[in-house]
Amino acid sequence: MKYKRKQKNIPVIFVTAKAGVLDKVHGLRRGAEDYITKPLDLLEVLARVEVTLRRVAHNKAEVLTIGDVRVDCTSHKVFKAGKLITFTFQL
C-alpha cells in the first residue's frame, strides 16, 4: 500500500479488498479515519461516511472541496463539477 497523506484536514476512508489485520493497521496508521473491506454493505459505508462527516463538521468544516468534488456538511449534499450528485439508495 503506497499512500501518503498530503493534507491533514481531508477525511480519508480506505475501501479495499485487503482485509488482513496488518493491512488495516497500516492504513489507519498512515492517516485513514476508517478502513472498509470488500465485500461491503452500502448501508454500512453510508453510516461510516456520516460518522466521518460528523467529526469533520464538529471541527467547524462546513464544506469540503477535493478537486471538483464539494461536500456540503450542513446540507448533506455532494456536488461534482458544480452539479448535484443524487444517490440511488435511501435509509
pLDDT at 5: 52
CA atoms within 13 A on the CB side of 21: 0
Share of the chain above pLDDT 90, in %: 20
CA distances from 19 to 5, 12, 39 (A): 21, 17, 10
Per-residue pLDDT, averaged over 63-90, amounts to 84
pLDDT at 84: 93
Q: Is the pLDDT of residue 2 over 90?
A: no
pLDDT at 62: 77
Per-residue pLDDT, averaged over 47-55, amounts to 85
Provide the mean pLDDT of the chain.
82
Could you please report the per-residue DSSP string of 14-49?
EEES---HHHHHHHHHTT-SEEEESS--HHHHHHHH
pLDDT at 23: 92
- With 0.75 as the threshold, say if the pTM is over it: no
CB 61, CB 9: distance < 8 Å: yes
Q: Is the pLDDT of residue 57 over 60?
A: yes
Residue identified by cell 452539479 is 83
CB 33, CB 55: distance < 8 Å: yes
